[in-house]
Structures are given as C-alpha cells and as structure tokens.
A and B are shown apart, each in its own frame.
Chain A
C-alpha cells in the first residue's frame, strides 16, 4: 500500500475541518472560508507544528516541578508529610504493594513522560520528512490523544482525597503545588496532541509542509 497516493493537498484542494466539504482555495496563499458552513479553511492546521512544539515544551517545563513538588500534604496528628509522585511510588514499593506502585509509576510518571517523548518524536519525524512507518506514527498519535484525558485521573484522585479527608484536627490532606503542575502537564500535552495535524505525517512533499 502506498502512502504517497493522491491527496487533496496535491490537487490544490482544501477540506473543511468542520463539515468536510472539499473546496478549491480562494486564492494562492489563502484558502478562504467554507461556502457551506463558513468555517475558515486551511490546507493543514495553521501553525500546527509551532503550536505543538510550544505546548509540548511548556508541558516538559511543567513536568519537572510536577515531580519535584509534593502533590499532597498529609497532616496527621500534628505532623505533616508532603508526598511527591515518585515518593509515593517508592513508599508503595517499600511497603510491599508493588502492583500499586507499578500502576502509579506507569499512570503518573511513565505515561506523561511517554506522551512528551512521543510528541517530540512525531514532530521531529515531520520535520525530517521520515519515510515509512507513517501508519505506526498515526497510531501513536491516536494513542497519545486517547490517553490524554485519562491522565487527569491522578488529579481527580488528589482533589477527591483532599475534599474527603478533612478530619480536623486529627487528619487532613492539603493539595500540594505539584498537583497544579501535574494538571498543567496533562492539559498541555492534550492540547499539543490536538494541535498536531496528523495529515502532516504523510505530507512528504516539502511544498505540503510549507503550507502547514
């Protein structure tokens, strides 16, 4: 199966992102607006690469404090214990529940990190116009997009615990600054994955990419 088959871009056509209507661009360098629904037309998402890069970089920046700062501060009986994500993993592992430790490690550390790496790899492959493996990269992109919202589960658990465990003065849980950064990582990687136009993956013609 060839991935270099005819595309709308090759034919100089643009498809409406909203209603799917295939149109001829209004003029060179400017696709114009959809006749049917009025949406702005563009051959590829405008600034897709730049936006994805920016959001991915922002996510990477937030990833550091998300892991360095405590996500939860447990106040129990007069002593407060700050818990970071990795600290929690180590704690779970040393206290014997390695399956839980593995789940937390994968869900809260590996997946966000993996998403960042995947985004970077997709972006680099687009820039390098890598031949072959477009299908795999497509699947990866789909996986990154699919897994995105699920990472919010961590944030949900943290906020849930904070709201639930308020047994002052015996015990209380406060959110740490880390959870804010963790949420930022999740949201930013989601936005980055969304802003990456997957069509760029098979745009091997430099002319196509220039359009993006």
Chain B
C-alpha cells in the first residue's frame, strides 16, 4: 500500500493542481479573471437563490382547463359539421367526457356517422391512421364523440412543453439574466431568476395566457335576450374593455386565432393613440380576407383572454393580412400586449403554486455567514486533528484542505448549485472525511501495538481500514443519491454536495495521506510510529 507508485503520485499531484485551478476563480477579483487567458478555468461557484438573492416561481399548467376547452371546441365542431351538410340534429350535449347528439333524420344517420368520422379530430401522433377522437353510433339515432385517453395525455404534455417555450420567450424579452426554466413532475414549470428581486415583474408577463382570437359579433341577440339568458347555441357573452359597450355577444368559434400571427408591434392609430399592429401568416390572411369580404358592415370582436378589446365594424375587406388593434391602450400596455402576442399564447392557464424571493442583501449576508461558519468549522477540525495525531494529523489536515479545494473546484466546474444547506453538507462531509483518516490511524495504532514494525503497521492500517471506509461511504452515497432524486431546491443542492464529497473524501483521505506518509517514511526512516 505505502509503496509510492508513480501513478499514485501523479494522480495526487494532478488532483491538487486541478483543485487549485478550478477553485481559484472564486477568490480572484473579476478584473484579474477577465485578464486571464481563455484556456484557464473561469467559472465561479453557482450560488443558489438563497445565497445570491433572486426569485423562484413554481407554476402548474392547468391541463384540466385545457381539456374542458378542447371538449367545448369538439362540440362546436360537431355542430358546424352537421350544419354544413344540412343534417337535422338535436339534443347536442356534453356529458362528462362525451359529446352526444341525436340525428333527426334516420335515413341520414349513416351519412352523419361517416361525415363526423371523416372530419372530426386530428391525427394522433405515433399511431398510423389513428385519430384523437372516436365517433361511435349508439343506436336510437344517437352518435357519441369523445377523445381517446392518449389524446388527453399527449395534449397535456404538449401544453407543458409549449408553455415552457412561451415563458422562455417572454422572459427573454424582459432581459432577465440567465433565468432557468424547467419542467418539474408532469405538469409543473419551475422558474428561477437569479438577481431578480421583484417576481411581480416576471409574473405580470408570465401569468397572462395571451390567447388572442378574432370572433364574429352575434348581432342577432338583443340586450333583453342577454338579460334573460336566451342565447343561441354557439354564441357566448364576453366582458368587454371597450368603452362603448360593457359586453358583446360573439360566436364561440374563432375565425382566426393568435396562432396565425407572424408579427405584432406597438404602433399608433390614425388619431395618434397607441395601438398594436399585427400581421397574419398566409392561411390566416386568407381566412381573414374571406371573412371580411363576406361580412361587410358587420362587427368582429378582437378577444384577448376571453375579454373583448375592441369590436370594429368591417368597412373594407382586409386582404393584406395585416391590421391594427385599437382599444384603450397606453403606450406601455400596447407594448406589453405586442410582446405577449409575439411570444405566443399559453396553451392553458397557469396557476402559481409556490413563489419565493430573497433580496440580494439577505443573500450576501447568507454568503458571509456561510463562509464564516465553514472557515471556523474547518479550522477547529484542523486544530483538533493535529492536536490529536500530531504529524499524521497534519497530513490529514492537508488532505482536508485538498478535499475542500476539490469539492469547490468540481462544483465550479460542473456549475452545480451551492445552497445554504449545501454549506452544512460540506461541513458534515469534512467531518466524515476525517473519520476515514481516524479509522486508518487507529488501525495503525492497533497494528503497531500488536508488534508490527512501523512500516508494516502503517501499511496494514490502510489495508484493514479500507473496507470500513468503503462501507461507510457507500451508505452516505446512497442517502445522498436518494435526497438528490426525491428532494427539490435546497435539498437537492445539499445532496449534490454530499455526493461530490463522498468521492473527493475517499480520494483525499486515502491517497493524499498515503503519499505524504510514504514520503515521510522514505525521508526519516522512523523506528516508531508517532501515534503509537
């Protein structure tokens, strides 16, 4: 064990050099760091939000709301399809997950089934010829339409992915520094923005669904009908931001939606008031052109998140595919809306579940408290281990220093996040690392007392202690990995520090002290172990 093979010395030297090199950026001033050649490591420890201040937001994508909306769209589609072929029908209703309809003319029942089977729903990803809806005949001229279960799951997964993309675009346009946006679990999204002490700014842009639709105003409905709740099927009442009308009755089915926008920007209307300019893509422009051509003199409503922004009268067909949205905008609100439109709508509403903010001052205080406690913890360990074991204790202290350097170096290199509890994890790691040396030294003492020569005792010390050390480290590795996979936030940081610590401690406690003790034996040729 104690023979100083070349690879052992090389490994130890390299690890010391790398440890110093990779942890160095943390203590150098930024100016020196900038002046250093590019091939040297530049990365500093990635401090958690609790240490540098910042905001943490956890959103849940409301996939249930999405599903309800999809069902309601499916019902409208069924209605439109049957009407387009003039098939008489009645009792169109939604019961739970199922849309059911009764065909009025029995002779056209088969035709209706075929029509709906052909035209409803979209292809299902991953299944050739599969569709996301099933249309089944139920006898008594009834037809039931429902989504297949896979469709709901796929929808939800897609919605979360899309939401992440949309949030990323929105936050990027705010200029927030390196936000981290991640999926958590099946339908949660976690946003961490370091240095951002005002989460309200983030929430203002994240929380809005920004679902823009253009819907025809249903002008056949009188205010009395609305009062009495008499609405034709397929129409709905929407609140309005328009100063001329508190609400509008609009057709539920959108003529064009925000998905078809290619651009949006803040602009001004002919009276110099702030407005939002938009442009449609090809298919959107065509649809919009057709509708405006056919509905001269009627109103359409511009609807944002179920609220009518304005409802202009169609004076001329708009075939250019671009236009402006007017309303009671200020320059800021017009700018914010165009930003939201550019980054796209959220496919489903987001609910905030968890929000945490730490100010930068508190973060700085935490760093100070953490560093002081780390320094004092480590220093008292150095002093104690040197007092207890003298020279060999000094070797163990050297190993400890290298251990700290390696942990900080690896954490800087991998950009793992150091959290406040992570500092406590670091301190405990050091304590357990000392345990490995204590185990080795105690074995040496046992062996020396049993009458072995110093060299043999030292050698056996390492050999015999190894299994205990491995067993002990495997158990802490297990609990570290469990914490890492089940924990979240600060616990994850804590766990990661522990896991890195297990590996560096094994290496430093065994190899560094071994090389030092080996070298000491070589130079002094002792007759007696100093700790015996």
Is chain B a partner of chain A in the same complex? no
Binding site for B on A (CB under 8 A): none
Binding site for A on B (CB under 8 A): none
